[in-house]
Structure 1
Amino acid sequence: MRNWIACSSFSILFLSISIFLYAPTPGQSQQLNNSLSSQFRSFSADTDIRYKNLKFANDTTSKRVNADLPDPTNVLYKSMIIPGWGQIVNNQAWKVPIVYATLGGLGYYSVHLTKKYHDYRAAYYNLNPDTPDDLRFGSTPSYIPESANLNEVRDLRNQVRNNRDLVYVGIVLAYGLNIIDAYVFAHMRSFDVSKDLSMRPRVKPAVMAQSNMPGITLSIDLITK
């Protein structure tokens, strides 16, 4: 038991002397901290330079790829001025007949419904005994008999008017879809959607923007095979 206590005391004494002899002084600790801080700043500066060079290279490549493509904002304005103009700029002239067929069909149908609405409105006014016989909205059309039920004429007038209003909404939507289609396709033309694409993930060290602490970043590149 005494031998075990003596060995333990000797071990503790030896460790204490070792720590005292090899422990760094305050000056050495400060020098060590300065060295680590300098290495970290050098690592941060090198990472920042590589990030800027990579960003510059990507911007240059993007500008070179998109140099021959139309500006999406310019396409947007052209589609707003003349329907189908944006599709022509995007080399999609085959869509122009669809745009004008839709707008033309809806426009023609709205004119037809407007005419019918005017006919039923005139008939309802002329057949109503409470209104004077002055043909304010014109004469009653020949396809509406004088003996027609007044309530039915009123219901038909309201129905035709509602259908005409819905057609007006369809014209606005078709015009808006023409603009959206040209604008979105102008943006998407710069994307490579071919089948010869593969993904290459990359993990690299980086510096956090807010806390200036080291970290890692994960990026996935789409490259041509």
Structure 2
Amino acid sequence: MRILFLLIVGVLTFTSVKAQEVIGNKNADTTTGRVDTLKGPKYINKGRIAGRKAIRRSLILPGLGQAYNYGLVVDDVKRGVYQDKRVWQKIYIVGKIGLIYTGGALLVSSFIDNNRMYRASLAELQWRQQNPGAANRDNQFVRYETSYLTTAKAIFKNNREVVLISLAVLYGANVIDAYVTARLKYHNVENELSYQISPTLINASPMYGFKPLPGLKLTLKL
């Protein structure tokens, strides 16, 4: 009887120890699993975020994306990222804003002039068609031949369309410049990217002909 009692106690003790080992192993596995599932800090692409912000601002108002990039430079200077004040970089960004609005103002002025001349030449041609032999003293083209007016009207219309396309290109260039500048701020491309600024001539004549104005051409080399 004593042997049977000792045998039962031994079995129960062995079972209890095994159960504790299983529970302990489960706890250890759970802890290990929790540690393994912990991830490091999520990667944040600052360049992409800055580029998107610059695009949105430039789409809303030309030059606003460049102003945002200017603010990024100012913030870096305040945080001590650069050893200097980045004066030339600030001047460069402000200069781009000035070029955007100067170019836009010239193009808008050219569009207004060409549109006015187109309407005047068209009105004179319509007057001559409706009143053969009569002179329209109120029109500035009254002294010109009909063939000349027909050619001039086509040129004014073509110039007007070219100006509209140029405005669209300037608007797109403003957006692209703001995006690229914001993205490149977080990349070191000093050994890969270069640029060249050279003088050029821009035709500012509202009529057919060539009225050159000085300008600058920016060439990027990757």
Q: Which residue of 1 aligns with 2:14?
A: none
* 1:145 aligns to 2:160 (yes or no): no
User: Is the CA contact (8 Å cut-off) linking 1:90 and 1:185 kept in structure 2?
Assistant: yes
Q: Find the aligned partners of 1:97 and 1:70 in 2 and give their Cα distance.
A: 25
Q: Which has the larger Rg? A: 1
Structure 2 unaligned segments of length 5 or more: list them.
1-35, 71-92, 192-222
User: Is the CA contact (8 Å cut-off) linking 1:123 and 1:139 kept in structure 2?
Assistant: no
Q: Which residue of 1 aligns with 2:98?
A: 97
User: Is the CA contact (8 Å cut-off) linking 1:128 and 1:150 kept in structure 2?
Assistant: no
Q: Which residue of 2 aligns with 1:183?
A: 179
Q: Which residue of 1 aligns with 2:124?
A: 123
For residue 109 of structure 1, what is the amino acid of its counterpart?
A: S
From 41, 47, 52, the counterpart of 1:73 = 52
Q: Find the aligned partners of 1:126 and 1:120 in 2 and give their Cα distance.
A: 10
Question: Given the superposition, is the C-alpha separation of residues 90 and 150 from structure 1 closer, same or farther in structure 2, using an over 3 Å criterion?
Answer: same
For residue 187 of structure 2, what is the amino acid of its counterpart?
A: F
1:28-107 equivalences in 2 (<5 Å)? 60=43, 63=44, 66=46, 71-91=50-70, 92-107=93-108
Aligned length: 132
Q: CA offsets, 1:47-98, max 9 Å, x none?
A: xx9xxx8xx58x65xx4x949x962111101001110010111112221001
Q: Find the aligned partners of 2:56 and 2:128 in 1 and give their Cα distance.
A: 50
Structure 1 unaligned segments of length 5 or more: list them.
1-48, 196-225
What do you get for the CA RMSD once the two structures are aligned? 3.1
Q: Find the aligned partners of 2:49 and 2:106 in 1 and give their Cα distance.
A: 30
Q: Find the aligned partners of 1:75 and 1:112 in 2 and give their Cα distance.
A: 33
Aligned-pair identity in percent equals 20
For residue 175 of structure 1, what is the amino acid of its counterpart?
A: Y
- TM-score, normalised on structure 2? 0.51
Q: Which residue of 2 aligns with 1:164?
A: 160
Residue 192 of structure 1 deviates from its aligned partner by 2.0
Q: Secondary structure at the match of 1:174?
A: helix
Residue 191 of structure 1 deviates from its aligned partner by 0.4
Residue 159 of structure 1 deviates from its aligned partner by 1.1
Q: Which residue of 1 aligns with 2:212?
A: none
- TM-score, normalised on structure 1? 0.51
User: Is the CA contact (8 Å cut-off) linking 1:117 and 1:161 kept in structure 2?
Assistant: yes
Q: Which residue of 1 aligns with 2:9?
A: none
